[in-house]
Amino acid sequence: MTPDRTLSGATRRRVGQGERKPWRSGGPRDTLRLALYLSAVLVATLVHEPGVLAGGMGIALVCCGRMRGVLLRKAFFAVLPVNLMISAGLVLAGGLAGSIDGNALLLLNLRVLLLSLLVAWTVHAVDFDRVLARWPAARRWLAIVRIHIGLLQRQASDYRIAFASRSAEPPTLATRYRAVAAHGLGLLDKAVQNAEATTLAMRSRGALDD
Amino acid sequence: MHIPDGLLSPQTWLPAFAIAVPLWALGARRLAHTMGDAVVPRLAVFTALAFLMSTLMVPLPGGTSGHAVGVSLLTLVFGPWPAFMAYSLVLLLQALVIGAGGVTALPVNALAMGFVGAWTTVGCVALLGRLHHEAAIAVAAVASILLSALIVALVLGLQPWIASAADGSPRFFPFGPAVTVPAILIPHLFLAAGEAALTVLILRHARKRHWVGVTTP
């Protein structure tokens, strides 16, 4: 079974350990980590020295612990298209003007990567269920949305595999659009019915009485 | 059209938070009145759908990306405030789960796509709905995408003026509006047509299923 990528690392660990403790108050460690992240974001956007940003990146990597390789790779690939696009534009504009601004190029790439790494660390280290414990309605909505993103992604993947296996030869674009529209609306029906049934079940068990 | 973290100066994202936070608080209060047992599951499913629609992104030269949004659909099914709140959640999840957009850029993205997109839809349908309802919905979807894209392009394009070093080198996003506006708006003309078709198709289905609740603010 693959882990649910829509859950934070901290939530996955808690669920994986089979912990059943009801979270009635926000965990102070999670709140502290969230505050640390927000402070680091503010500092990263106020600093304009590439050397200082590189130092910040080093500190962030130390804070990531053993997961630093995974988190750095995740952060790097998340911002790679944007960084490449803007860097190529800067190099092109600089090349046409006769001088490429290496400092601006380094500053932009370092800042975007550092902020992306900070997000990856926060998602890994902070249990958002605990942080949202004081707002049960927000927590419930987030949980339902998270579940449905996972479900819809899995159903869409199942559909792609099923459609490919049923097609003897490559379908035309029009056929694909028609099939996607019909299947998509069917999925939507199913998702709404599932969500309504789940809500009714939760209501009948008193889970929505807070 | 997400703006990622690191391209906006604090002079931009801090005031944007100051505008967005009261709107989120107001939206949460409005949402609490409309969130019954019937609305919560549908809103959750449509929020997940908007998340998936905007997950397929194409990076654009203007420093952002092109993708379907789904705000018009959310607005026409649930109303502008739930749509704004739902899309803000979509943006937050995208920033945290797939690293698209960002936390510092969240208020700008939410205001441009969620707030402006939702109210543009309401305005267009109110203005044109009496002439031809489905055409008004399509126009509303196109207008909401293009207006949101224009705001994103202008916010990015103003960064060299807002935050530059003493020698004139950019500290955040380096290109002005002459680059960002065409680079972002032209691809969104095509994306907006796709968004309009999707909105009309899904809304027609939602009406058949009697899912459409609040359609006016």
In this predicted complex, what is the ipTM?
Answer: 0.80
How many other CB atoms sit within 10 Å of the CB of residue A108? Answer: 25
A 122-181 residues with CB < 8 A to B: 122-123, 137-138, 140-142, 144-146, 148-149, 151-153, 156, 181
pTM score: 0.82
The answer as to whether B5 is a domain residue is no
The answer as to whether B162 is a domain residue is yes
Sequence letter at residue A151: L
Q: How far does A128 lie from chain B, in Å, by closest CA?
A: 11
Q: How far does A18 lie from chain B, in Å, by closest CA?
A: 23
Pairing of strands B58-60, B64-66: antiparallel
How many other CB atoms sit within 10 Å of the CB of residue A102? Answer: 13
- Cβ-defined contact of A123 to B43 (cutoff 8 Å): no
Predicted confidence (pLDDT) per residue in B104-162, tens digit: 999 999 999 999 999 999 999 999 988 898 999 999 999 999 999 999 999 999 999 99
Reply yes or no on whether the pLDDT at A19 is more than 50: no
Q: How many CB pairs under 8 A join A and B?
A: 161
The domain total for chain B is 1
The answer as to whether B4 is a domain residue is no
- Beta-carbon contacts of residue B15 (< 8 Å; ≥ 6 apart): none
Domain that residue B50 falls in? 10-208
Asked whether B100 and B94 are in contact (CB, 8 A), the reply is yes
SS3 state of residue B171: coil
Predicted confidence (pLDDT) per residue in B156-207, tens digit: 999 999 988 888 788 899 999 999 999 889 988 888 988 899 899 999 988 8
A 29-68 residues with CB < 8 A to B: 41-42, 44-46, 48
Mean pLDDT across A170-190: 80
The answer as to whether B1 is a domain residue is no
Q: Which of A134-143, B55-64, B66-75, B204-213 shows the lowest mean pLDDT across its residues?
A: B55-64
- Cβ-defined contact of A148 to B32 (cutoff 8 Å): no
CA–CA separation, B121 vs B145, rounded Å?
Answer: 9
Predicted confidence (pLDDT) per residue in A33-73, tens digit: 888 998 999 899 999 999 999 999 999 999 888 899 999 99
- Cβ-defined contact of A116 to B96 (cutoff 8 Å): no
B165 CB within 8 Å of a chain A CB: yes
**Which of B63, B99, B169 shows the shortest C-beta gap to A74?**
B99
Q: How far does A32 lie from chain B, in Å, by closest CA?
A: 17
Q: CATH number of the domain that B186 lies in? A: 1.10.1760.20
The answer as to whether B217 is a domain residue is no
CA–CA separation, A65 vs A128, rounded Å?
Answer: 20
Predicted confidence (pLDDT) per residue in A106-154, tens digit: 999 999 999 999 999 998 888 887 888 777 767 777 777 777 778 777 8
The answer as to whether B91 is a domain residue is yes
The residue among B198, B162, B189, B175 whose CA lies nearest residue B71 is B198
